[in-house]
A and B are shown apart, each in its own frame.
Chain A
Amino acid sequence: MGEVTLFVRKASGLVRSWSIFDAFIYSAFSINLITLGLFIFSYAYYFEGNLAVAVVIGGAFTIFEVIVYASLISAMPRAGGDYVWQSRILGRAIGFILAVTGWWFILWLWVPLYGQMLMYEVLTPLFAIAGAKDAALWMSGQTGLLTGSLILCALVFFYISVGMKWYARVQKVCFWGGMIGLLLVFVLLGFGTNETFIANLNSIAPAMFGTEQIDLYQATLEAGEAAGTVSAPLGSLVLGASMLLIPLITFQNLWPNWGSTLYGEVRGASDYKRNFWGMAAGVIVTAVLALIFFGLIGKTLGWDFYNKANGAFWNYTWGYTDVAPPLPFWPYPVLFAAMMTKAPFLQFLVVLLMSLWWFGWSGTIFLSSTRVIFAAAFDRMLPEWVSNIEPRTRTPINALLLMVIPGMIVATLYAFNIFDLQTLALDSTLVIAVTFFGSTIAAIILPWKMKDVFDGSPIAKFKVNSGWSWLTLLGYGAVSIFLIYKSIQYGIAGSAAIAGTVSMLIYILVWILNVANAAVLLYLLYYVWKNLAADKQLPLITFAGLVFLPFLDWLLVEWFWDPSYLYGIGWTNTSSIVFMLINYGLAAAIFYGFTAYRKRQGIDVEKVYQEIPVE
């Protein structure tokens, strides 16, 4: 028997730990390779970098995000996540505005994105295999995309009314089914040859989608070439160009923290490790699976073909050309893998099993949103009625409507590309990255800002030795100065692209953000320097934050200035900036409006997060 270090008595809440494997499942769903991954990888055709390199480097930085979040959870479990961490450490206004934008408003934009993935990855291929080619093609059209968003909203109502107990079970079934599907895809691609694929594509696609009886493979290569596809071969490193892919693929891999576990009492550092490994395993395994998938695509479909098929499809879909692509459907690698067999049943089975990646994942994000809406209502920052629960189904009907109604408005604008909304896909990532930026700052300063909480937490003893601490801080300082320099350089170069008054105002706004960003980066440098000089060692949470924060900052600089017009959401895209301003403006209006309103009611909401002084 080991040495006894703790005695517990019979008391409620004393539970045993959770399974790391279960935590891994939820993390893997959150950075879903099939839905989020394949969707955003299809955008990469006009980047000169190598997706595989970007996945590895992006994944490495995400591990630091995992440390930051596992640490925050260990220090303040059951706090409810970003909202309370930021409200408590950085202040109510920042906590509220960043949480409601990142966990609620921006999910309105995710509604059409989820709907689009449902249509592209699930319904279009399934209907095509079943022989309903007109229906299949309709589903990938504008009305189809809107229908996909409606189906999604209906499913969200269903998920939430059945509750997390049942949805967690559904997710497990989906995980195993999806894994079997992925294995089948790998087997089909692994044992197939490029010749078989070309022959099958040319014979099966006309039957499935009614395309012309031509050499579709060759025609796609030519259409992709004309679309300007420039992707690097899988074997090349092209480090600089590959780095520029990272702000694109964070659409997929920035979310391992979405499924982290917040429960358990009288527990310690072992829970930190469980949370860390659950999330880190999600990142690592997903990255490895992505690399295998890329390799198999390259071997059997042809990496060049894959990228050119994407180029041909998106260039037409986004309206850059009037010439329809030879393949009139989104180039779904899973459907291509299914074409390695001519048996419709097996084709259907493969796509159906792979669709479980969508069904197992699509509920999680919306369940999180209702929690944030509830938390804001409990803090009296929203009307009481938003937290009402419909008694018969126990569904938070009003909170759901606050998701669904704006979500459907955005979905309509997106489906018909009104205000160029289809260019805003990466806004869905940027706004959440800003929320994570706030939490990462909170994590960096937590050990000193909430010293008692930190010192009494399981992570208090996780420290980096003095040499590494100073080296990390110096590295942070150097990267911060580089980022400030880079953003100034981008800003000065950007002046040539000012086109009109609105453009000028946006340009000034982004410059203001530049200055604020520089101030934050330098203040943190000073703050940590001062405390490191006294403490000699950096806490692990601060160390990880000092690595992850510049990474996030770099993403934001690239997204906002976007000097090479790679991401489409930068300052030159008025729709993007206006969309985000509406989000943040609405959040600020609610915050300051409700604070004033509650004050008039005699409720001092300033005291919600203030610490009670002890005499």
Chain B
Amino acid sequence: MKLYFATDVHGSEICWKKFINAGKFYEADVLILGGDMTGKAIIPIIAQGKNKYKVTLLDQESILDGQENVNEMVKTIQNRGYYPYVTTPEEVKEISTMPGQSDKVFLVQVINTVQRWMDYADEKLAGTGMRCYVCPGNDDMFEIDDLIKASKHIELVEGKLIHLDEDHEMINSGWTNPTPWDTHREEDDETLLERIEIIASQLQNPRTAIFNLHAPPFGSGLDEAPELTEDLHLANAGQSLVPVGSEAVLKLIKKYKPLLGLFGHIHEGKGIRKYHKTLCINPGSMYEQGILQGALINLKPKKIGTYMLTTG
């Protein structure tokens, strides 16, 4: 059985489409998305009158003339993982001054996007026989879960134990240990340990299992992120890297010794680490460039056949 795993697409339209098409390209039987589907920013495209619009993408201001240019910019913004939002100067002012207003706009954008992604996946995966599992990550709002559940060809696997085949089970969670950003699905390591332990304890054969957990194990090298100052500036010009993974996940990997660990969360942490016979992978993420990093793993009944990290 061949798995393709990717993670942290963060709203990038092109990365989602690549993910759905990856099964065919890599000849995979199962697709797994490790979490953090949703974007982090909204880019307002502000009407200026006379069919002109102003947009500032990546600190670069552009004046768009006509709907065709707007559509092109919408595509560029979506592929970069942001939400384009065609609006007026008055609404921009309202969103930026009224507390909670931007959260409401975000929610609408996130829901619309995830719904569009589910429709795309249902269309492309229909009749392929390919299975696709998605487990939202710490950055994902809870509201997207119902949209994923409603999909015909994608299965929401948060908190679930999945039987991939007769030899391999997979446990899943997108929850992480605390981050400096107080995100949607994060909790202290003790609680996280309990959360995952509940699922892991149901495994019939942990040694051939797959742990699909968003947070990488602490100190694995898959969790190295730039050190931050207290006010979230990059310390030492980003030269200084520190481990920020989960102690709970590390304990679970050491306790259950699964066959494979699939992680994400830390985009800079691309790599592979072995704990005894457990192969741990974080494919990293370059979603902003529309590049889908992933891992292709060929599973044998009791071992890993081959594996490869991809930059697709």
Whether chains A and B associate is yes
State the A residues within 8 Å of B (CB). 1, 3-19, 22-23, 25-26, 75-80, 84, 87-88, 163-165, 167-169, 171-172, 259, 261-270, 278, 374, 377-380, 384, 387-389, 394, 452-453, 455-458, 460-461, 598, 601-605, 607-615
Residues of B within 8 A of A77 (CB): 288-289
- Contact between A615 and B82, CB atoms less than 8 A apart: no
- Complex-state Cα separation, A615 to B126, whole angstroms: 14
Q: Among the listed B61, B238, B292, B309, which residue makes an inter-chain contact with A263, where contact means beta carbons less than 8 Å apart?
A: B238
Residues of B within 8 A of A601 (CB): 306
B56 CB-CB contact with A under 8 Å: yes
- Contact between B96 and A7, CB atoms less than 8 A apart: yes
A387/B271 contact (C-beta < 8 A), A26-B239, A261-B234, A266-B82 known: yes
- Contact between A11 and B181, CB atoms less than 8 A apart: yes
Q: Interface of chain B, helix or strand or loop or mixed?
A: mixed
16 interchain pairs, CB-CB under 8 A? A7-B44, A7-B105, A11-B139, A11-B181, A12-B179, A15-B228, A16-B231, A17-B234, A26-B237, A78-B267, A78-B286, A168-B227, A380-B308, A452-B79, A610-B25, A613-B25
- Complex-state Cα separation, A426 to B150, whole angstroms: 64
- Contact between B306 and A602, CB atoms less than 8 A apart: yes
Q: Among the listed A17, A22, A270, A610, which residue makes an inter-chain contact with B236, where contact means beta carbons less than 8 Å apart?
A: A22
Interface-lining segment among B16-24, B155-163, B194-202: B16-24
- Complex-state Cα separation, A193 to B88, whole angstroms: 71
Could you tell me the distance in whole angstroms from the C-beta of A259 to the nearest C-beta in chain B?
Answer: 7
- Contact between A261 and B237, CB atoms less than 8 A apart: yes
Interface centre among B40, B93, B284 (most CB of A within 10 A): B40
- Contact between A608 and B310, CB atoms less than 8 A apart: yes
Residues of B within 8 A of A3 (CB): 92
- Contact between B286 and A76, CB atoms less than 8 A apart: yes
Q: Interface of chain A, helix or strand or loop or mixed?
A: loop
- Complex-state Cα separation, A605 to B58, whole angstroms: 34
- Complex-state Cα separation, A602 to B300, whole angstroms: 13
A269/B58 contact (C-beta < 8 A), A11-B183, A389-B221 known: yes
- Complex-state Cα separation, A54 to B233, whole angstroms: 38
A269/B59 contact (C-beta < 8 A), A10-B183, A614-B17 known: yes
Q: Among the listed B14, B79, B102, B288, which residue makes an inter-chain contact with A7, where contact means beta carbons less than 8 Å apart?
A: B102
- Contact between B306 and A278, CB atoms less than 8 A apart: no
- Contact between B239 and A78, CB atoms less than 8 A apart: no
Interface centre among A25, A167, A259, A266 (most CB of B within 10 A): A266
Closest residue on chain B to residue A380 by CB atoms? B308
- Contact between B181 and A14, CB atoms less than 8 A apart: yes
Q: Among the listed B233, B274, B288, which residue makes an inter-chain contact with A265, where contact means beta carbons less than 8 Å apart?
A: B288
Residues of A within 8 A of B256 (CB): none
Q: Which chain B residues in 5-58 approach chain A with CB under 8 Å?
A: 10, 14, 17-18, 21-22, 25-26, 36, 38, 40-44, 55-58
A16/B236 contact (C-beta < 8 A), A75-B289, A456-B76, A602-B306 known: no
- Contact between B60 and A460, CB atoms less than 8 A apart: yes
- Complex-state Cα separation, A603 to B2, whole angstroms: 12
Q: Which chain B residues in 65-99 approach chain A with CB under 8 Å?
A: 76, 79-80, 82, 92-93, 95-96
Closest residue on chain B to residue A377 by CB atoms? B272
Proximity string of chain B (241-280) to chain A, C-beta cutoff 8 Å, 1 when within and 0 when not: 1100000000000000000000001011011111000000
Residues of B within 8 A of A615 (CB): 21, 124
Closest residue on chain A to residue B275 by CB atoms? A391
- Complex-state Cα separation, A615 to B307, whole angstroms: 25
- Contact between A612 and B40, CB atoms less than 8 A apart: no
Residues of B within 8 A of A164 (CB): 239-241
Residues of A within 8 A of B61 (CB): 5
B226 CB-CB contact with A under 8 Å: yes
B111 CB-CB contact with A under 8 Å: no
Q: Among the listed B55, B93, B233, B271, which residue makes an inter-chain contact with A378, where contact means beta carbons less than 8 Å apart?
A: B271
- Complex-state Cα separation, A30 to B88, whole angstroms: 48
Interface centre among B36, B76, B308 (most CB of A within 10 A): B308
